[in-house]
Structure 1
Amino acid sequence: MFERVNAFVDEVSTASSQGELRTILADISRELGFAHFALSHHVDLRNSSEPAIRIHNYPDEWERYYDRKQLGRTDPVHRACQMTAVGFTWSQLPNMIPLTRMDRAVLDAAARQGLGDGFTVPAHVPGEVNGSCSFATARGKPLKAEHLAVAQLVGAFAFEAARRLAKRDRQRLADPARFSDRERDCLIWIARGKSDSEIATILGISPETVHQYVKAARANYDAVSRSQLVAHALFSGTISFMDIFKR
């Protein structure tokens, strides 16, 4: 089976789109005995100011329930990911976190949508919101314990492939080379929480010049807020966390 993992790594490393990655994940999930998979950042995707990933083949009704309840951050499976760096089965949840009445309602709702037991691989990348890759059996179907070690590897490599594709897509939307050194300086001070007038004083330029720099940067990234602008600049590599915290 580990030979299949090697083939999977080759496939995802050359995937050219999220749609292609979704197909590859669906194929190997079936081979491992899973009916469903979900690869995502742990955010409320509809209201997030940060670029986020979500690739899955869960039932449509479950996706609508998930978004309606804003489960991106509160899903018990996602919360359990904060407690470990390795994969875990959903049956282990009561031993990992205290389950609330709402948590049990979420798990019951998942079961009603046909999801059985599952296995989740956490994804912790410094500087990014947490994420995971989950695999779920059809309701009533048992997990195949002998396949969980393989699922651990598949989930980790799949998440990294999704990050690569997302970063490539963001770079297509915003070319870091379009920023001058002075514009980049403005982005760094924005990330440090400074206002336009404060940045103008620090850099020795007019507030109007700073405003125009910020306006151009937001247009370049199609960002609707300063926090989203900073997130895009970080994800594209235009600025780094070292830039922000260095004094």
Structure 2
Amino acid sequence: MGAVLDVASIIGAGGLENPIAGPTLQARFAAGLEVRVRSRDGCSMPITALLPDFANLLLGAADESAFTNALSSAVQALGFHFFAVAHHDLRDRDAPVGLEIHNYPEEWRASYAARQLGRSDPIRRASHVWACGFRWRDARDIVSFSSADDAILEDAQAFGIDEGFTMGVHVPGEARGSVSFATRVGMVFPERALLQAQGLGSAVFQVARMIFKTRPIVRREILTDRQLECVVWVGRGKSNWEIAQILGVTQETVKKHLQDACARYQLHNRTSLPLRALYEGSICFSDLFP
């Protein structure tokens, strides 16, 4: 039997308010027991049924505080305790950090940063090559683990972070990223909530990008279909003459298309065109490597 609560104490007249609070609910999660709520019409339902309300709060968040409060509530409704939304470290030490939002213990954050673990973190590495979310214990089946990798997860446990669930996110033109949810040491891992966690994680990353303006939306020039065709063939290593033969046009026509594309993107040479088109989302890697 789950803990049946009056949903009026969870959803106030003005919307969702402090949906997860108090030691009783946390104790239920820690013991792996189901937590249920009772709607105003008397129907009992699992607390995960409130996730649409949490999602609406996330989508409506106007600042970091509202975002983290809504995310914390949603994560706890799933049976997790910790969350992390982050772009991953770039090899360039001077590159912008990007997103870094979490509620991990400050001591763990400081230790992680001081040792620059973001560049070797096995969970992050696994998220780069896996198409959906995965439990941390399954990362060993995704990427090779070293003794140093095992030590990272053991160190996390020493700071109270136990098992987790991570999904990778990649937006062309940005550093790779991920969303992670984790349990505290002593809590039972919420196996039944992983599908909901997957859906929540995808939305969370996008909302965070919008709130923190990691990639402001601005009006950009759009290439014509013919210009994009030429750009794709440039990306495949073809010369103007070869592109002209492939498309059945003159070499001067190809040159004109590429010059116009450079002008629209404000570039000085054709070599940069495929990279810029990838960044803009006008083409994808499969266009260049069929």
Question: TM-score category by the smaller chain?
Answer: 0.5 to 0.7
Aligned with 1:60 (options 94, 97, 106)? 106
- Give ranges in structure 2 of 5+ residues lacking alignment: 1-46, 221-262, 284-290
Alignment partner, residue 124 of structure 1: 170
Give me the whole-angstrom Cα distance separating, in 1, the residues matched to 2:107 and 2:143: 26
Give me the whole-angstrom Cα distance separating, in 1, the residues matched to 2:61 and 2:135: 28
- Give ranges in structure 1 of 5+ residues lacking alignment: 178-183, 194-232
- Contact 1:5–1:153 at 8 Å: present in 2 too? no
Alignment partner, residue 10 of structure 2: none
Give me the whole-angstrom Cα distance separating, in 1, the residues matched to 2:215 and 2:171: 18
With the length of structure 1 as denominator, give the TM-score of the two structures. 0.68
Alignment partner, residue 204 of structure 1: none
The amino acid that maps onto 1:8 is: F
Alignment of 1:82 with 2:128, yes or no, is: yes
Alignment partner, residue 138 of structure 1: 184
Give me the whole-angstrom Cα distance separating, in 2, the residues matched to 1:116 and 1:137: 6
Alignment of 1:188 with 2:241, yes or no, is: no
SS of the aligned residue for 1:97 comes to coil
SS of the aligned residue for 2:194 comes to helix
Instruction: Return the index of the structure with the highest Cα Rg.
Output: 2
Give me the whole-angstrom Cα distance separating, in 2, the residues matched to 1:143 and 1:46: 36
With the length of structure 2 as denominator, give the TM-score of the two structures. 0.59
Alignment of 1:161 with 2:207, yes or no, is: yes
Residue 92 of structure 1: how far off its partner (Å): 0.6
Give me the whole-angstrom Cα distance separating, in 1, the residues matched to 2:50 and 2:92: 35
Residue 137 of structure 1: how far off its partner (Å): 0.4
Once the two structures are superposed, the pairs formed by residues 1-247 of structure 1 within 5 Å of their partners are 3-43=49-89, 47-50=93-96, 52-167=98-213, 171=216, 188-189=267-268, 240=280
More relative contact order, 1 or 2 (CA 8 Å, 6+ apart): 1
Give me the whole-angstrom Cα distance separating, in 2, the residues matched to 1:170 and 1:119: 26
Q: Cα–Cα, structure 1 residues 126 and 111, in superposed 2: closer, same or farther, change >3 Å?
A: same
The amino acid that maps onto 2:188 is: P
- Contact 1:34–1:135 at 8 Å: present in 2 too? yes
Count of residue pairs the alignment pairs up: 200
Q: Percent identity?
A: 31
Q: Choose 51-60 or 122-131, whichever is displaced more.
A: 122-131
